[in-house]
Amino acid sequence: MPEKVIAGQTVTVDEEGYLTQPSQWNRAIAEAIAQELGIQLTDAHWKVIDFMRKDFQERGTVPGMRRLNKVAGIATKDLYALFPDGPIKKAARIAGCPKPTSCV
């Protein structure tokens, strides 16, 4: 697996930049990945990221759009406003989760 230095820490990533070991994730890494994607994290972003990480740890899969809508209570339009052009992929990458299987 390729390695990349993010926020001063060496982490393993896949060919698309998703962390391959979610345990290497921390908030500084999330901030750095978000900045790389052109996103300035706010409390609303952290609500999505925290839910995504917790749900992934509990269920073993990255939550999709419907689960974020129904369980986390975050509207689709809000997700697109927070993470333009692919909210689930971008949120998962920032959250240190694998690339969602529902995303090509």
Which residues are identified as catalytic?
A: 103
Question: Which H helix or E strand runs over 10?
Answer: strand 9-12
Q: How far apart are CA 71 and CA 66, in angstroms?
A: 8
Q: Which amino acid is at 48?
A: V
Residues 6+ positions from 24 with CB-CB distance below 8 Å: 9, 11, 12, 96
Q: How far apart are CA 37 and CA 99, in angstroms?
A: 15
